[in-house]
């Protein structure tokens, strides 16, 4: 059993609505429903009466709700107790970061911070975007670093979470270079000769970005799926072996482009690319959850940087 199943079930009881709970838990409704079913399978009994509307608990669900609250309270209490005993807890910054950014953006960003701010002790959790957001929402990290696009937003309440834009990232198509240093495959392909396509899985954030590119293009692309994974690094390695064309973040292929191992496969146009923001989030400090002093100092430093050396004025409503 996973603790997120308990949190899902408690949310469902509190909202009485699958769609609302799915949105609050930052997951699609089908995925949320599957997690509730996984919990029921693990318990061996139905918790939700699916013959009625609105959502209603079964007798077993009513009993289990109290147990779920107690179990989750004990689990979270144990976690907080152990974290408080960790020697570096108050001087270390816990980062939740999607896999790609953990390999491309974070190392250079930390180097820059050590030069301009101070040496930082950090602990990084490399996750998919969904689980990285949950880490912040559930208090499992101090900072969340992730991609953002208006059509695939990270939906965090601005009254509860602070946000900074740290940079931008382009997602476009790449392919292996041949002996003449030109890409072996080039978009758009043809119906008779579709291009071998190395794709992200449907549940990957970057996969959804690629879907936007494919759906928005005015020139149809002819692609034949050959391989899929949720890891950009995995797609890059397959592209380097010549298995096909892959849409990848620019920062993930910087070295390979310089060494002429990979090249843009989109004819250097903007017709088949998308730009995302790289955002940093934190839970806004409050009297009940003040956060770590090191995180406050770092956030203030980053705000000053973004405001051209001027400290941001805090609205009275935020004080």
Both tokens of residue 290? Answer: 């003040």
d(CA 302, CA 195): 43
105: phi then psi, degrees, rounded to nearest 5: -85, -45
User: Could you tell me the domains of the chain?
Assistant: 3-85 (1.10.10.10), 95-168+293-318 (no CATH), 170-276 (3.40.190.10)
Residue for token pair 């689990």: 75
Q: How many residues does this entry show for the chain?
A: 319
Find all residues with CB under 8 Å of 165, minimum gap 6, and list them.
277, 278, 279, 280, 306
Token pair 């953990």: residue: 102
Among the listed residues 203, 148, 150, 196, the one whose alpha carbon sits nearest the alpha carbon of residue 173: 196
pLDDT 10s per residue in the chain (319 long)?
788 889 899 989 988 888 888 888 888 888 899 999 999 999 999 999 876 667 789 999 999 998 888 888 888 777 766 665 554 456 789 999 999 999 999 999 999 999 999 888 999 999 888 889 988 988 889 999 999 999 998 888 898 999 999 999 999 999 999 999 999 999 999 999 999 999 999 888 999 999 999 999 999 999 999 999 989 999 999 999 999 999 999 999 999 999 999 999 998 888 899 999 999 999 998 876 778 899 999 999 999 988 875 555 444 344 3
Closest CA to 185 of 274, 273, 272, 266: 266
């Amino acid at each position: 059993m996973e603790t997120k199943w308990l949190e899902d079930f408690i949310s469902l009881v509190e909202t009485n609505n699958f769609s609302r709970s799915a949105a609050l838990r930052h997951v699609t409704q089908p995925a949320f429903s599957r997690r509730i079913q996984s919990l029921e399978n693990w318990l061996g009994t139905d918790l939700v009466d699916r013959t009625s509307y609105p959502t209603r608990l079964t007798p077993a669900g009513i009993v289990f709700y109290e147990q779920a609250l107690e179990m989750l309270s004990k689990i979270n209490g144990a976690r907080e107790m152990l974290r408080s005993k960790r020697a570096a807890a108050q001087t270390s910054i816990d980062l939740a970061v999607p896999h790609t950014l953990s390999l491309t953006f974070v190392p250079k960003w930390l180097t820059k911070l050590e030069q301009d701010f101070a040496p930082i002790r950090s602990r990084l959790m490399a996750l998919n975007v969904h689980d990285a957001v949950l880490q912040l929402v559930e208090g499992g990290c101090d900072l969340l670093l992730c991609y953002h696009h208006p059509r695939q937003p990270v939906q965090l309440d601005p009254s509860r979470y602070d946000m900074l834009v740290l940079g931008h990232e382009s997602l476009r198509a790449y392919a292996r270079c041949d002996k003449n240093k030109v890409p072996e495959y080039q978009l758009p392909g043809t119906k008779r000769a579709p291009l071998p396509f190395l794709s992200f899985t449907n549940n990957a954030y970057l996969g959804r970005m690629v879907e936007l590119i494919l759906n928005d293009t005015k020139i149809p692309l002819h692609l034949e799926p050959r391989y899929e994974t949720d890891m950009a690094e995995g797609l890059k390695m397959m592209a380097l072996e010549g298995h096909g064309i892959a849409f990848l973040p620019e920062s993930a292929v910087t070295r390979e482009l310089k060494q002429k191992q990979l090249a843009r496969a989109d004819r250097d146009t903007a017709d088949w690319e998308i730009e995302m923001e790289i955002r940093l989030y934190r839970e806004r400090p409050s009297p009940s959850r003040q956060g770590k002093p090191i995180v406050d100092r770092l956030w203030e430093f980053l705000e000053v940087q973004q405001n051209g050396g001027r400290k941001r004025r805090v609205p009275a409503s935020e004080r």
